[in-house]
Amino acid sequence: MTTRPFKQVDVFTSTPYFGNPLAVVLDGSGLDDAEMQRFAKWTNLSETTFLLPPTEPTADYRVRIFTPGGELPFAGHPTLGSCHAWLQAGGKPKSSSHIVQQCAQGLVPIQREGERLVFAAPPLRRSAPSPTLLAKVAAALGLKAQQIVAAQLLDNGPVWLGLLLDDADTVLALKPDHRMLRELGQKVGVAGIWSTDDSPPLIVRSNREARAFARTEEAPAGIEVRVFAAPVGIEEDPVTGSFNASLAQWLIADGQMPERYVAAQGQTLGRSGRVHVTRDADGQVWVGGSSVTCIDGTVAI
């Protein structure tokens, strides 16, 4: 075993322990696939990353991203959290204007936006899901057909079935059958837009959630998001950058959301994640959030 620098970072929050945790092994050199997978399964977090020297000349570093159940080509909160950890550990970008992350999906530009980091959403491929898949997922979520406003298969590396529901309260009230979702083999993200007539979305719907908000100072949100990924060993993900990226590309393009908004995710898990979305003048969608380091030390792998 080798002692390696390590950080555990909370992503999509400015308050520790209210976002989505990420384990970052800052030097993954010499580890094989099985060793990386074993460590990721042991951390039992939604993702664990391993930083490596880049093989592309324009990249600043390379990252491999593992869930407890397998490797991902790209994921959002590992992108932001890994970059945060790399910079904090003394990483020096080749460019003064941005950082370039290399992952299995390709090169991902990352920029600083005040205290937040933002990544360029990868190109999106989307299509209509089959009626059979949609019906089975709706049954697993306990949804009626009239509660689903729109549905798309969203592929930006990971493939999600995205569902836009009739409102944010419907999203928060879902009680999924995770066994059914695991058997379907389909990762699912759901979203509901907060109406301007509703109570402010930061005034949440249970005592536990109210207590969570009371301890944070996160931004108000225009849309509520939940993500279910039982097929890769994660029943519900606290805050999900890759899904929010593809969701933003879809909903902004279809006129469902404005070109700048904030998404909330994690309330039902006692979290208060905030995902900041912007589409620039060139049509590029940027997805960002704050990160804080909670554990800083070494691991033996």
Rounding to the nearest 10 degrees, give the CA dihedral for residues 3, 101, 242, 24: 10
Looking at residue 113, what is its pLDDT?
Answer: 92
> Which amino acids are annotated catalytic?
47
245 CA to centre of own chain: 8
The per-residue DSSP string of 257-300 comes to S-SEEEEEE-GGGT--EEEEEEE-TTS-EEEEE-EEEEEEEEEE
CA 146 – CA 101 distance, rounded (Å)? 41
Looking at residue 233, what is its pLDDT?
Answer: 84
Looking at residue 198, what is its pLDDT?
Answer: 53
Low-confidence residues of the chain: pLDDT under 50? 199-216
Looking at residue 200, what is its pLDDT?
Answer: 41
Residues 6 or more apart whose Cβ sits within 8 Å of residue 271: 13, 18, 19, 20, 212, 238, 239, 265
Looking at residue 246, what is its pLDDT?
Answer: 97
Residue range 50-90, pLDDT digits in tens? 999 999 999 999 999 999 989 999 999 999 999 999 999 99
- Percent of the chain that is helix, strand, coil (3-state, to 5): 25, 35, 35
Looking at residue 195, what is its pLDDT?
Answer: 83
Looking at residue 136, what is its pLDDT?
Answer: 98
